[in-house]
Amino acid sequence: MDTKQKEIVQKIAKTIRGLSIEAIEKAKSGHPGLPLGCAELGAYLYAEVLNHNPKNSNWINRDRFVLSAGHGSMLLYSALHLAGFKVSLKEIKFFRQLGSKTPGHPEVHITDGVEATTGPLGHGIGNAVGMAIGMKILKAKFNTDKHKLFENKIYTLAGDGCMMEGAVSEASAIAGHLRLDNLVIIYDANKISLDGPISESTSEDTRARYRAYGFDVFEIDGHDLDAIDATFREIKQKQEKPVLIMANTIIGKGSPHMAGSHKVHGSPLGQEEVLATKKAIDLPKDEFYVPNEVQSFFEEKLKEQKKLEDKWNEDFSSWAKENPKLFEEFKKMQNKTLMPDIEDVLRNIEIKTPIASRESSSVVLNYLADILPFIYSGSADLSSSDKTYLTNYELISFSNFKGRNFKFGVREFAMGTISNGLSLVDTFIPVCGTFLVFSDYMRNAIRLAALSNLQVIYHYTHDSIFLGEDGPTHQAVEQIASLRAIPNLQVIRPADSNEVKMAWLAALTYKGPTALILSRQKLTTLNETNISFEKGLSKGAYIVKEENKNNNKKIDFTFFATGSELEMAIKIADQLEKSHQKNVRVVSFPCFEIFEKQSKEYKDSILKGDIGKRVSIEAGSEMGWHKYIGIDGIAISVNTFGKSAPEARLREEFGFNIESILKRLI
């Protein structure tokens, strides 16, 4: 690194430190320790390493930087502002305020240049692994001998807290297994966590751990620009494996009285210490100061980066002309194109009956994979049981990224974070599967997918106590209600193969995550659900059996049922009418979230009026149902853990047969 380069990167690092501590001080809230401690790393990345174009932050072949240690967001915001992204100085001054584009932790849908929503520690590493896998797939699929379209790298900055999270171990093991030679994890090894020195909570040999995963490991002084430069140049020239850079840093570096202390991790420095720090690092007292040399440097850098993308676009145009079929497939993946008659296509898929909804969903998934090239599927070591394997496609491995199946191993949390990263590449809709009860392992990844509006499809099977003999450890009870509590997550529990088909249409057309809740036991395909998407599942709830309107008799009962319980609800309604002269309406209610988006008029047509005693029937927790059935409604539900027994015995034990339910009603 020549002297001139070194001087400008040092000035950028100083500027990042100044902007960061002042924004945090103005907000009276934030985490100054990481921006102060990682300023050289951030400055070097944005000045020397990242091939991107801040004026087009969505350029697909860009290098991507993910801040896994999201609490250090001012490092990222300062760098994005200096580099020319749409992060103004006004937004820097508005840090952590209502409506700001600089929220406390980075959010991908809010701030230009932010690649992933991070904050819960470790997520960013999983996201970066997913992005790296996605780019390896695009490289294998679309690069030719003549045109090297996809050659980018994914960088992520993690802290000591990230390294302690189990999700990082899971994701790193997968990265090593797949030998991701486009992934670089930078570990801010400052030996401090929020509560104090990490020696109080861990004593692992991180170098040995990552070598065991299959990484190349470098260790450097994270403040030594020559060492940083030498390491990154070596990686760019000959990376063959995923890389961990252990950057030994001083948390809060530059602060005269707080550097090296856990107290600088998550609290503003205070005005006096801000001024003392600026003096110590040779910055003027001017607030939010950006030197002219730094501005000029990035103005010139922007010109270079635009040329980089322009050159790529020329190469892409040439490739597209020479490879029209590949180009057509790429555009389908990029646009996630659905054919205009997708509903008819789905409705015409032949599926036998009776059939478990995990099986009918697998039939639909495999059919869709053949016509939609952006669907990729994976499972946490359960593909033979959750039925997510794409039978016409190979397994993705370190030697074959042309496959479309992932085997995540028994790593549900990593599966969630990696699927989020794959979705963020924006040419994939990832499908990931496990048993519904194990959604608990990946809940925080689901939550961030919902927060980020990521189109991920969760294929959750074994949806109730009726899976039988495996017992309460594997029988879902509270999971459906728990998932319904997550904002923006579309939770669909289809009743049969007709609703399964339309549930897939709902998932493919929703710009956010969807959880498909699927049975292990066989379900009859019902005539009552064989209706259009518009009249049925697109409403979230719809009437499948009308009350008898010819006898001018009031409605005695309205049943609301989901999944495997809908057929039983219809049978009970028939028996009530024939044997007890009751007038009964039955509503299929596959998705609360979709129903809540309907017009007031439609919702009133389902819920309002003299509709008799309201009864919900769902083999899970009753939580959430009383919004629809009222405080006096009857919830036929499971509010205890299950038991190990055959399905038929469980139905008797938990009152989920026609006789037991009739006794509760009559």
CA 324, 325, 329, 330 torsion: positive or negative? negative
412 is catalytic: yes
Task: Specify the amino acid at residue 472.
Answer: P
The yes-or-no verdict on residue 552 having pLDDT over 80 is: no
The token pair that represents 499 in the structure block:
């609703």
Tell me which DSSP letter residue 467 carries.
G
pLDDT interval class at 657 (50, 70, 90): very high
The yes-or-no verdict on residue 501 having pLDDT over 90 is: yes
pLDDT interval class at 26 (50, 70, 90): very high
What pLDDT, in 10s, does the model give residues 373-422?
999 999 999 999 999 999 999 999 999 999 999 999 999 999 999 999 99
Tell me which DSSP letter residue 150 carries.
-
Task: Specify the pairing of strand 584-588 against strand 542-545.
Answer: antiparallel
In this structure, what are the phi and psi dihedrals at residue 335, rounded to the nearest 5 degrees? -90, -10
pLDDT interval class at 246 (50, 70, 90): very high
Structure pTM?
A: 0.98
pLDDT interval class at 334 (50, 70, 90): very high
User: Would you state the pLDDT for residue 532?
Assistant: 98
| Greatest pairwise CA separation for the chain in angstroms | 93
Note if the bond before 103 is cis, omega within 30 degrees: no
Q: Over 473-499, what HEC string results?
A: CCCCCCHHHHHHCCCCCEEECCCCHHH
CA 620, 621, 624, 630 torsion: positive or negative? positive
Strand boundaries in 452-608, DSSP class E: 457-461, 490-492, 514-517, 522-523, 542-545, 557-561, 584-588
The yes-or-no verdict on residue 610 having pLDDT over 90 is: yes
User: Would you state the pLDDT for residue 549?
Assistant: 80
Fold of 342-528: Rossmann fold (3.40.50)
State CA 79 to chain mean position distance: 25
Which among 412, 499, 528, 565 is annotated as catalytic? 412
End-to-end CA distance of the chain: 85
State CA 254 to chain mean position distance: 36
Distance CA 323, CA 641 (A): 57
pLDDT interval class at 550 (50, 70, 90): confident
What is the average pLDDT score of the chain?
A: 97
Q: How many CB atoms lie within 10 A of CB 41?
A: 28
Fold of 539-665: Rossmann fold (3.40.50)
Distance CA 233, CA 469 (A): 57
Edge-to-edge strands, sheet with 64-67 = 64-67, 154-159, 183-189, 243-248, 216-221
Domain ranges for the chain, please list them.
Answer: 3-305, 342-528, 539-665
Domain 3-305 has CATH 3.40.50.970: yes
pLDDT interval class at 195 (50, 70, 90): very high
Distance CA 507, CA 469 (A): 31
Distance CA 53, CA 359 (A): 45
